[in-house]
Amino acid sequence: MAKPIPKQGLQAIVAVVSAHPAGIAIQDILDALGETVPRRTLQYRLKHLVDEGRLIKEGEKRWAKYYIPASAPVERRGKAQEVSGEELAGEILISRQAAEIQKCVRKPFRSRKPVGYERAFLDRYRPNHTAYLSEPERTHLREMGTPSSGAQPAGTYAKQILNRLLIDLSWNSSRLEGNTYSLLDTKRLIDFGEEAEGKEQVEAQMILNHKDAIEFLVGSAEEIGFNRHTILNLHALLANNLLADPEATGRLRQIAVGIEKSAFHPLEVPQLIEEYFDQILTTADAITDPFEQAFFVMVQLPYLQPFDDVNKRVSRLAANIPLIKSNLTPLSFTEVPVKTYTEAMLGVYELNQIDLLKDVFIWAYERSAARYTAVRQSLGEPDPFRLKHRSALREIVKAVVLERLDKKAAFNRISKWANKNIEPVDLERFREIAENEALSLHAGNFARYQIKPSQFSAWQDVWNEPK
């Protein structure tokens, strides 16, 4: 009897191929998977997926390319206009309807009809009856984004890839707002607190705000949801030190705002903003499918513009709430073209049309799923004990450094803190791990405890002082 093919192995391959609408060769699939499977094994699995109809193969031998059926190139069957309703926007495959939206929003600003907020756009949506994403689309996304680890507490998957997610999502979401930090600049800022030379401080603040907001969502995975506490605090974290009125952070809008180069004029009445904001949260909370929830808030939150600023950033991170809670692959907006995303949002604002944004959403999720499937395969299984006590370990080890304790004082501090904060059944092992973490801190790993280089250096002078 043939050995069954691991389901997660097939999911990883489909995720990689999905991220390449123009097709991908076998060597590139191997590279994306980190060569976690032998080439011959990959060939066998690709044949299995083709036989099942989950992939399409074009060409032979070294010229072979693989496609998801929905994105297979129309050229291979002749007349594109007869067999396909899709076009390419950059690398994103978009529908004819989405292409029409692009044509409308690319017209000169002065020729586009001014429009206001249309409440019927929200009122028409009925949770679990209306659907922005079709059932096949939701099934496809779930197949892409479901890890093979089985049922686990909310937020477990996001915690396992948190270091990568902090950098990816902080950079990409900031990039979509015009931030000019590079990916390497972002990594240095998040890991070591080093601001890039020649950049505005506001750019560093934007990225660090994203980092804080992501940590809030992942660290509070079991408590977050589509409620005022979560969304208002999410805005407060993302808008920290960025608004003209500091008191507007975490507060619904009380002033009129405009959107640059858009014919859309957002709602101005504070009482209505509050009412519709609550309606959006209630509607989102009632949706049972996590992908539909995610996309709904990406549409409706920025359309309302409930805050003075930072609305799209809130919507992008809020879209991750149901994904984090359901232990699905997070959405990091990897490689999403700024122009296409901007046009997609204009389509929502000015036309109440979601097709272009939906194409961006699905494409972006496929890219994220492929990336984190490969990342997860390159990681070992996390220690459940360390995962459980992750926040506690970070708190006490950071305290040892900030308080500049020597070895004897540090071990006493850890013991007293653990006795007070850790349940007795875990006490002994927690103390042992915390002590080992303090002993093993060095210049290459202290940033994971949110310690600055200057703080680490000052502590090292005391820690290494001979007794």
Largest CA distance in the chain: 82
Cα–Cα distances in angstroms (integers) from residue 284 to residues 126, 323, 332, 360, in the given order: 10, 13, 20, 20
Which CATH code fits 94-377? 1.10.3290.10
Please report which confidence band the pLDDT of residue 82 belongs to, taking 50, 70 and 90 as the band edges. very low
Domain ranges of the chain: 7-76, 94-377, 384-463
- Mean of pLDDT over the chain: 87
Q: Quick check: 372 pLDDT over 50?
A: yes
H or E element in which residue 424 lies: helix 424-439
- The mean pLDDT value for 330-343 works out to 93
Please report which confidence band the pLDDT of residue 73 belongs to, taking 50, 70 and 90 as the band edges. very low
- The mean pLDDT value for 251-260 works out to 94
Long-range contacts of 139-142 (CB under 8 A, 24+ apart): 140/18, 140/362, 141/291, 141/362, 141/365, 142/291, 142/328
Please report which confidence band the pLDDT of residue 2 belongs to, taking 50, 70 and 90 as the band edges. low
* Residue 252 contacts residue 277 (beta carbons within 8 Å): yes
- Res 60: pLDDT: 74
CA–CA dist 228, 208 (Å, integer): 23
Instruction: Copy the structure tokens of residue 428.
Output: 């002994």
Q: Quick check: 159 pLDDT over 90?
A: no
CA–CA dist 365, 18 (Å, integer): 10
CA–CA dist 204, 193 (Å, integer): 9
Q: What are phi and psi of 93, to 5 degrees?
A: -80, 120
* Residue 301 contacts residue 280 (beta carbons within 8 Å): yes
Please report which confidence band the pLDDT of residue 260 belongs to, taking 50, 70 and 90 as the band edges. confident
**Quick one: DSSP state of residue 194?**
P
- Res 381: pLDDT: 55
Q: Domain 7-76 maps to which CATH number in 2.170.190.11, 3.50.50.60, 3.40.1380.10, 1.10.10.10?
A: 1.10.10.10
CA–CA dist 441, 159 (Å, integer): 21
CA–CA dist 173, 339 (Å, integer): 13
Q: What is the pLDDT of residues 423-460, one digit of tens each?
A: 988 888 898 889 888 888 887 777 778 788 888 888 98
CA–CA dist 158, 372 (Å, integer): 10
Cα–Cα distances in angstroms (integers) from residue 10 to residues 43, 112, 326, 370, 392, in the given order: 12, 47, 21, 12, 37
CA–CA dist 152, 158 (Å, integer): 11
